[in-house]
Amino acid sequence: MEIKVIKTTVPAIKPVDESKLGFGSIFTDHMFVMDWDRTAGWHDARIVPFARLSIHPASTVLHYGAEIFEGLKAYRTVDGRICMFRPEENFKRMNNSALRMGLPTFDGDLALEALKRLVELDADWVPHGEGTSLYIRPFIIGTDEHLGVHAVEHAQFYIILSPSGSYYAGGLSPVKIMIESEDVRAVRGGTGEAKCGGNYAASVRAGERAEEKGFAQVLWLDGVERKFIEEVGAMNIMFKIAGKIVTPALTGSILPGITRKSILELLHHRGIEAEERRISVDELVAAMESGTLEEAWGCGTAAVVSPVGVLAYGDKEYVINNGRIGPTSQMLYDSLTAIQWGRESDEFGWVVPVK
Ligand SMILES: *Cc1c(COP(=O)(O)O)cnc(C)c1O
């Protein structure tokens, strides 16, 4: 499919002070759009000036949450190229999300081609500062113009770009996390595996309550027994218990993170054992009480690795590794970012240049 390009005639003024970029509030000059309907399939792939959307008030996305999204980054490597990290994995996952949410699947190669062209066109928007990046947000919405509940007949695929600041502007410091035992994020058979909007709307309440108590995020338990560890807000979770790295197995309610997958592959490649299995909250509490929980860290695109310094359960707070980043978390952060930013050679073929 041909991708049409209509360039803006009124380019926006780019932010000068990269330390004030923040996250997700500034957008570039262009966006990618593609339409779908059940008879014609995907068509009219185009890069157009960034603009507000005009959609029918009855659109499926507005009423029944027909929405899926992805999140990845483009960034400047040390040799001056603009690269992305495993973008084909994002489109693969997005297609799985589409299948779960009754939205149309798409050609991942075409999406990647469109993404590269969009980033190339807005390349001047990729910030230069250490740790800064161009955050990439692909999403699909259902756009049927009537109120019946059904698999959509019409949809649109978008990609928007947002120059964003370094996640660790204040240094790689451990966060306080609270195990959530009231709300649940997802259940097996539900939508936890899909990156879909509704999952996040439903998680906001617990997040707010945690924040009021001074925690950065919640750690979710499984939705059936509230007994097994699942993941954090937009990160998967890993632990080092008595010298062994463990992470919850993907049992259907956990988002299969690309950072999680990359860390497991990296560890495997280095001959470091890591286990994917169910981890009960009781096991974790016992490990914290006996002092065998050596490290805990979240992993996801935004932070890469986010060490956990305090984990709270009920009215108890446990300090992990004296509240400092542990050697494994540090090693994983250093290794992944070294590959991403081109400071170390990429033996895995994970880094994809934009051109
Ligand atoms: C996106 C996301 C992750 C992390 O996935 P990455 O591909 O590593 O960025 C983990 N959990 C949830 C709920 C997410 O939305």
Q: Domain count of the chain?
A: 2
Protein residue with its CA nearest to atom 1 in ligand 1? 234
Same domain, 151 and 179: no
CA angle 9, 14, 20 (to 5 degrees): 155
Q: What is the pLDDT of residues 109-163, one digit of tens each?
A: 999 999 999 999 999 999 999 999 999 999 999 999 999 999 899 999 999 999 9
Amino acid at 139: F
Largest CA distance in the chain: 64
Same domain, 144 and 194: no
- For residue 226, tell me if it sits in a domain: yes
Mutate to test the pocket of ligand 1, among 236, 238, 297 (most ligand atoms within 8 A of CB): 236
Nearest atom in ligand 1 to 231's CA: 11
Considering 95, 129, 164, which residue would you say is the last residue of a domain?
164
CA of 217 to the centre of ligand 1 (A): 14
Residue labelled with tokens 């109120």: 147
Q: What is the pLDDT of residues 193-241, one digit of tens each?
A: 999 999 999 999 999 999 999 999 999 999 999 999 999 989 999 999 9
Mutate to test the pocket of ligand 1, among 90, 301, 332, 337 (most ligand atoms within 8 A of CB): 301
CATH of the domain at 243: 3.20.10.10
Same domain, 185 and 116: no
Where b means 16+ CB within 10 Å and e means fewer, 209-243 reads ebeeeebbbbbbbbbeeeebbbbbbbbbbbbbbee
Query: Any residues with Cβ below 6 Å from ligand 1, and which?
Result: 71, 195, 231, 234-236, 255, 257-260, 300-301
CATH of the domain at 68: 3.30.470.10
105 and 42 in contact (C-beta within 8 Å)? no
Residues in Cβ contact with 221 at an 8 Å cutoff, skipping those fewer than 6 apart: 179, 180, 181, 184, 227, 228, 229, 230, 281
Predicted TM-score (pTM) of this structure: 0.97
Same domain, 297 and 180: yes
Same domain, 258 and 146: no
- For residue 156, tell me if it sits in a domain: yes
Domain, as residue range, for 191 = 175-340
Same domain, 311 and 208: yes
Nearest atom in ligand 1 to 72's CA: 9
Same domain, 71 and 93: yes
Same domain, 140 and 234: no
Same domain, 218 and 159: no
- For residue 346, tell me if it sits in a domain: no
108-121 vs 87-101: helix crossing angle, rounded to 10: 130
Mutate to test the pocket of ligand 1, among 195, 200, 219, 237 (most ligand atoms within 8 A of CB): 195
- For residue 20, tell me if it sits in a domain: yes
CA distance to 277, 284, 306, 318, 328, per residue, from 294 (Å): 18, 11, 15, 12, 9
- For residue 127, tell me if it sits in a domain: yes
Nearest atom in ligand 1 to 259's CA: 8
